[in-house]
Structure formats: C-alpha cells, structure tokens
Structure 1
Amino acid sequence: MYHTIAQAIIKSIMADEYVTKLPTEKALMVRFDASRSTIRKAIDVVFRHGLLRRVQGSGYFIIKQPENSGTILNLSIGFDQAAMVEGGPLTSKIVTFDKILADERLANQGNIEVSTELHRVIRLRYLKDRLYSLEESYFPKAIVPFLSEDGVKHSIFAFLREAYDIYGSTTENYVHQVRLTATRAQLMNEPVGDKTLCLDGINYLANGSVFNFSQTYFVYPDLELYYHTENIDLQN
C-alpha cells in the first residue's frame, strides 16, 4: 500500500500541489486513510527519489529544480520515466515489440543468463512532440510473463505495478557518451557517428532478480541530470 501512496505523493509534487513543504504525517494519514508507519514508508520512498529534503524538527521540504532548465532527468526516480521529465509526460512510438532470447551481449548488459527469454521493447519517446530519446528495454519473461501493447505505448512501469505489483528495489545507472550506429541514427534522424548521451540502467526486485534493463539514447536539447544522495556518517 505504501508504494501506491508514494506514487500519489510524487504526482502531487510534480503537479506543484505541494509547493514548499510536504503536509504533516497526520494530514497524510487522514488523506490516504493509512497508518503512521505506512505513511512513513511512503515518505521514505519519495525521499529516496530525490524530491524531498529532510529538516530535523521541521519536516520534509520540496526540492526545487533549477528554473532555467528546459528538462531535468532525475536519475533517482529511475523506475518511472513519465515522472523524470519536467514539462509533461512522454509519449511513445513503438519501433519493435517482440520476444527474443538473450545473447551474450544482452546477458552481460542485463546481468542475466544467456538464452533468458525476454520481452524486447524499442520505442521513440517524445516530449511536447519533439524527439526526446530512443529507448531499448528488455524484461525477463520469467518475471514479467506478459506485456500489453497498450502498456508499452504508455508507462511500462505503471503497467508492471498494476498487473504484477512490481516495484523496483534498487537501480544501477551508468551515464556515458556514445556514437550513434547507422541503425540508431536513422531511427532518430541524426547523423551517423554523432555523440549522444546514453543511460544504461538495470532494475532489480528486492530478492535481487532483474526485472528490466535498458539503454536510452537522448537527443533532447538542454537536458540536465539530477541525482539525490543521502550522506551517512560512517564513523557512528
């Protein structure tokens, strides 16, 4: 239940419903008809997504994104690309939607076994009708038995939450620059060999199983990266 509440709080923050500070735990308990422990778990999820700042004795304050940024990719949110982007939800054009067996390259990329059966989803993503990214995603069929075409057109992670109660536990992200291959350049209408920002991601369940891995190539102008960390005093 706390995952659902966390998603609702995230949507409220992204919609500027909470401008400066998160409501008190008591107010959230009333709003969501939930216990204090459930609300605290939900708030912790939102905090780990980099949307809140803890102030001891004062509560949780909304982290403001820079006003001069056109788009900010929040790497702390990771499991839901629709929530990553300032300025509106992403829309999708499906390029490939099929099933394949993982070869050695994909097995290494996704930290899975060779010949693992995968759902493959290749999509062009658009923000405000402008090409945002090319996304190549894979979902092990043993964890995700079925993907609907409607789910693939919209938020796959929302589909996974609703259909299988799948929530990511940990995510590994690697951001680097790559040169576009001929195939990717043609899909994105970009010059072959051009450098672009690439995000490699692997999403794990709490038991350590991979439920998704992907490579995303970004072409949207003025893209900025944001990542949230919590400092821990290792001496105590």
Structure 2
Amino acid sequence: MNKNTLTINIDKSSPIPIYYQVASSIRDRITNHEWEVNEKIPSEAQLTEEYGISRVTLRKSLDALHAEGIIKKEQGKGVFVQKNPQPMLHDFSLPLTLSSRMQENGISVTPLVITSHISEPVPYINKILELDEKEPLAYIKRVFILNNKPIGLNNSWLSSKKVPKITENRLIDNHLSLTLANVYNLKPKSIENSIQSIIPDAADMKTLNIHYLSPATLIRSTSYLDDETPLEYSMTIWLGDRVKFNLNITND
C-alpha cells in the first residue's frame, strides 16, 4: 500500500471524540495490513499531518491503542505494531458451528455469565417462543470477551419448562448452545436473524466499557428445533470495531 503522506478526514463536528476517531482509523489501518506486526508506524509529525490534529490529541489516540496492546512504544525508537486486532468474524451460522469455525481459525471468544434467573413472562417474547402468556422464562445474560476486551453482550430467553434448572446450574464453559445440546438434548436446526445498527444504552455501554456513540450492531435471533418449535430468543449487541459480519447469498 502507498504510504506517502495523505490527508484522512476526521469529522470534528461529530460528538464522537476526535482521539477516538483517530484511534479507530489507525486500528483499521493495522487490521488492513498497512503496517505489519513489529513494523514501525509513521512518526507523530506525519500522523498529525495526515489527520489534521494536534500532537496532544494524537498521543491520546496512541495511548488508547497502547492500552489495548495493539501498539508498543520504544523509547528513542518510535511506535511499533504489537498485534493485528483482527475482528471476530460472525457468519450467522448456528452457534455450535460458529464456535467451531472460530476455534479452527484460532479465535477464542470467552463468554461470561452476568446474570441467570427465572423471569416473569415478557408478552412479546412469550409470543415469539409460542408459549403460554403466563409461563415464566429462563433468562441468561452474558458478555463475550476477545483478547481481554468485551466484544458483545447477549440476552437470551427460553421456555423455563424446556430447560429446567438451567439458571440454577452452571452452563458448560459458560456456553449456552453447548449446555442445551449436551444437557437437554436440544439442538437448533435453523435460526432467523434481524440486524439493526444501534447506540447502546448507558448500562450496556458501561458493561461493554465503550464510549458514548460507539458503533454497535444489534442482532435479534430466534432459533428453531427440527419440528420448527421455537427454542431460544436472543438479543446480542456486537461492537462495530471488533466484530465483522459475513453474509453469503446464492441465487438458486
């Protein structure tokens, strides 16, 4: 790639802080292999010229990337790429298949359970799951971690009758799909997804440790068993700079 000096547009009227925009841009450039691991990135003078910003703002951006472990600073030598922050690739496969593919590609996403309990019925969710309107729901909330950083926040609801005591016992390695398959012999055959760009609310931003107006994608999913009975309804927020979506469409 041509590494000559260029001007990169930063929206200085945006409510998203300039340093955050610059850090995201540099992260993307590393992800796209403009600079490889252990390669020195341009000097502060060149980067401030490219982005049209002050050195104070640039150093704040570099400090954020350094905290993520993406770059490293060597006294008297400059700033070097420490790792390529490749995003998680989400291809809308069934959960067990997606998890297997990520492991094959050396990507290890760690789910952590935040809360798990039996909740009161939620009318629209009970309707989606084709349950009696008075049936309680098993509710599980988890955060997904990649490279020690939160990348997603998942809320799942299931019929409390189909998965007895699931909220009382630990999930297998905190994996819901693995627990459903191995403990309850429930394996979804299909899944329906809807996708929406969102701004997470304050509580979710705090859990995900992100800044106001950070890009995020909400995926609402309903999984179905062999007999087309709904199994699980979920809402998952994926961070836009840490997750890449891949959707293949063929013409039959």
Shorter-chain TM range is: 0.5 to 0.7
3-state SS of the aligned residue for 2:170?
A: helix
2-structure distance, mates of 1:196, 1:111: 29
2-structure distance, mates of 1:79, 1:111: 24
Do the aligned residues in 2 keep the contact of 1:180 with 1:196 (CA within 8 Å)?
yes
Q: Give the 5 Å matches for 1:213-228.
A: 213-219=233-239, 221-228=241-248
1-structure distance, mates of 2:215, 2:222: 22
Q: Based on CA coordinates, which of the two structures has the bigger radius of gyration?
A: 2
Q: 1:74 is matched by which residue type in structure 2? A: D
Q: Which has the higher strand share?
A: 1
Q: Give the 5 Å matches for 1:53-64.
A: none
Matched, 1:183 2:199: no
1-structure distance, mates of 2:163, 2:225: 12
Structure 1 residues 74 and 160: CA distance shift in structure 2, 3 A: same
1-structure distance, mates of 2:232, 2:188: 9
Structure 1 residues 87 and 144: CA distance shift in structure 2, 3 A: same
Out of 111, 116, 122, the residue aligned to residue 103 of structure 1 is 122
Aligned to 2:217: 197
Aligned to 1:165: 185
Aligned to 1:150: 170
3-state SS of the aligned residue for 2:113?
A: strand
Aligned to 1:75: 92
Identity %: 13
Shift of 1:208: 2.3
Do the aligned residues in 2 keep the contact of 1:93 with 1:124 (CA within 8 Å)?
yes
Q: Which runs of 5+ in 1 are unaligned?
A: 1-67
Q: 1:115 is matched by which residue type in structure 2? A: K
Q: Which runs of 5+ in 2 are unaligned?
A: 1-84
TM-score w.r.t. structure 1 length? 0.60
Do the aligned residues in 2 keep the contact of 1:101 with 1:114 (CA within 8 Å)?
no
Shift of 1:123: 0.9
Shift of 1:192: 4.4
Q: Give the 5 Å matches for 1:80-91.
A: 82-83=99-100, 85=102, 86-91=105-110
Do the aligned residues in 1 keep the contact of 2:151 with 2:242 (CA within 8 Å)?
no
Structure 1 residues 69 and 77: CA distance shift in structure 2, 3 A: farther
Q: 2:236 is matched by which residue type in structure 1? A: T
Do the aligned residues in 2 keep the contact of 1:76 with 1:228 (CA within 8 Å)?
no
Out of 148, 160, 167, the residue aligned to residue 141 of structure 1 is 160
